[in-house]
C-alpha cells in the first residue's frame, strides 16, 4: 500500500520495468518505515521482558541485520532462485 493524500492506495507494478521513479522511491521508503516500526516494537518488547523478569538471563535484540540478509541471499542462490535482482 502506498499513501496518497493520506489515503491508502494499492499500486501494482513490476519492479524491473514498471512504476515511476517517485513510485519506486515511495515504495522503498514505506517498506523501510514498516521494518523500522517492527524493529522498534521488538526492541521495546525485549526491554519490557528484561524489566519484568530480572531474575532470568537478559534477552538481547541485535538490530544489525546484515548477516541475516547475507544468509537469506545465500539460501536463495542455493535454491536456484537467482541473485535477488529478479522480480518477485
Structure confidence by residue, pLDDT tens digits, 18-65 = 778 888 888 889 999 999 999 999 999 999 999 999 999 999 999 999
Residue recorded with cell 500500500: 1
State pTM to two decimals.
0.66
Question: How far apart are the C-alpha atoms of 44 and 36, rounded to whole Å?
Answer: 12
pLDDT grade, residue 11 (50/70/90)?
low
Length of the chain: 88
Return the bridge partners of 8, or none.
3
Per-residue model confidence (pLDDT) at position 45: 98
Amino acid at each position: 500500500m502506498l499513501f496518497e493524500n493520506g489515503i491508502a492506495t494499492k499500486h501494482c507494478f513490476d519492479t524491473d520495468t514498471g512504476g515511476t521513479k517517485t513510485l519506486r522511491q515511495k515504495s522503498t521508503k514505506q517498506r523501510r518505515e514498516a521494518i523500522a516500526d517492527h524493529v522498534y516494537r521488538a526492541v521495546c518488547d525485549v526491554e519490557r521482558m528484561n524489566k519484568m523478569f530480572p531474575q532470568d538471563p537478559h534477552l538481547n535484540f541485535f538490530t544489525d541485520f546484515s548477516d541475516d540478509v547475507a544468509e537469506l541471499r545465500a539460501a536463495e542462490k542455493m535454491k536456484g532462485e537467482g541473485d535477488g535482482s529478479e522480480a518477485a
